[in-house]
Amino acid sequence: MNLAAATNENLAQVSNVLIYSSMAVYLLAFFANMAEWIFGSRSKTGRAAAALTAQKPAKTAAAAPAVQVKKNGSTAVLERPQVVTRAASGSRGDVPDGPGASGGDEQGDLYGRIAVSLTALGFLIEFAGVLTRALSVQRAPWGNMYEFSITFSTVAVGVYLALLAMKKNVRWLGLPLVITVLLDLGLAVTVLYTASDQLVPALHSYWLYIHVSTAIFCGAVFYVGAVGTLLYLFKDSYENKLVKGGTPGKFATSVLERLPASASLDKFSYRVNAAVFPLWTFTIIAGAIWAGDAWGRYWEWDPKETWSFITWVAYACYLHARATAGWKGRKAAYLALIAFACWLFNYYGVNIFVSGKHSYAGV
């Protein structure tokens, strides 16, 4: 028995070392992401010159000319090549997506690929830390806020890497993601840390694996959608200023011109939130079934249950607003951010500041 306890204690210490090691790697990834944005930035003149010289005509007779010649009878008509420009006033549907954090620069792209590699390495180390924590307590590592936090950040990074693997244009998400993960892990190891221990009897159920795992996954996806929504608001304001003839500052231009178009960010956030909303609905239903098994009642308006339902209503309002003509765009985006704020309060606020039946293991 003493040997088993010592083994579990050693595994818990290994888990702590792995979590701190992942933070160190994520910090390096943060610097690499910053380098991608800084060294990938180029002046408007440099970007225009690169665009003009991107496709040099081949030195062969079969090379297609840059200007097409159309013969109409005996008359030769020169047709200008089609150029994609920003939309005219009142419509911005043809605004192209930005070149990305690297700004289309090879040096910036190199730093970006290094950042992705470091983020993937940090993910593997953090995943090993979560797994070792689970082995040390011989259960799912979701019994307190510390374990929930390290698992949440692991899943959030996993979602980002999965989107990259699916060839989605989400490299712009790398910098805010790494910053958030570092803040989350810093809070976990300093404020929320709880020594490994066994669960209270009410939590000994297979519903722990179903309910809590889906809650963590939904939170990670909601976070990705919230970042996209926030950046949409900034990019939309930037495009509106350009349409009205304004001149944004150099910093805003350098950052925002490399993000996807506001329409792309809006579509991305909507699809992410809409895709995970049914799973959030299932999470609440699974929690109610578990409550019925553990406490004898499916719903008691416990603070955690109440805020989970409030979060569900907020996201339902957002999805409904997207289908309503007068609430598309910025109004719907504000609703999405309010919904994510509800999720954050349910995640941190209820556990730390409010007492209820979901208050286990301190935090």
- pLDDT for 153: 95
Alpha helices, DSSP H, located in the chain:
2-39, 44-52, 106-137, 145-165, 174-190, 207, 213-243, 250-256, 262-295, 303-322, 330-344, 350-353
Bigger pLDDT: 326 or 141? 141
Comparison of pLDDT for 87 and 38, the residue scoring more: 38
pLDDT of residue 200: 67
Of 10-19, 75-84, 99-108, least confident by mean pLDDT is 75-84
Q: What percent of the chain has pLDDT over 70?
A: 79
Which SS3 state, helix, strand or coil, does residue 194 take? coil
From CA 230, how far away is CA 357, in angstroms rounded?
Answer: 34
Rounded mean pLDDT, 50-71: 45
pLDDT digits (tens, 9 = 90+) for 218-228: 999 999 999 99
Round to whole Å and give the CA distance between 134 and 153: 16
CA distance 115 to 128: 20
For 131-148, what is the mean pLDDT?
86
pLDDT band at 72 (very low <50, low <70, confident <90, very high): low
**Average pLDDT of 138-143?**
82
Task: Output the pLDDT for position 359.
Answer: 55
Distance between CA atoms of 54 and 106, rounded to whole angstroms? 13
**Residue range 14-40: mean pLDDT, rounded:** 94
For position 277, what pLDDT does the model report? 95
Indicate whether 80 pLDDT > 70: no
How far apart are alpha carbons 300 and 264 in whole angstroms?
Answer: 41
Report the range of poorest mean pLDDT among 37-46, 107-116, 186-195, 321-330: 37-46
Inter-residue contact 344 to 187 (CB < 8 Å): no
Q: Across residues 120-142, what is the average pLDDT?
A: 91
pLDDT, residue 292, reads 82
Question: What number is the average pLDDT over the span 95-106?
Answer: 86
Band (pLDDT 50/70/90 cuts) for residue 139 is confident
pLDDT value for 355: 66
pLDDT at 124 > cutoff 90 = yes
Interatomic CA distance for residues 188 and 149, integer angstroms: 6
Beta bridge pairs of residue 68: 79
Confidence of residue 248 (pLDDT cuts 50, 70, 90): confident
Cα Rg of the chain (Å, integer)? 25
Q: What is the rounded average pLDDT of the residues 11-17?
A: 89
Residues 76-89, mean pLDDT to the nearest whole number: 43
The lowest-confidence range among 19-28, 69-78, 240-249, 259-268 is 69-78
Contact 142/215 with Cβ under 8 angstroms?
Answer: no
Max Cα–Cα distance, the chain, nearest Å: 99
Q: With contact defined as beta carbons under 8 Å apart, do 315 and 201 qualify? A: no
Query: Shortest CA distance to 161 belongs to which of 133, 186, 127, 195?
Result: 127
Q: pLDDT tens, 303-347? A: 888 899 999 999 999 999 888 767 778 989 999 999 999 999 988
Asked if the model's pLDDT at residue 47 lies above 80, the reply is no
| Residue in 16, 44, 242 with CA at minimum distance from that of residue 130 | 16
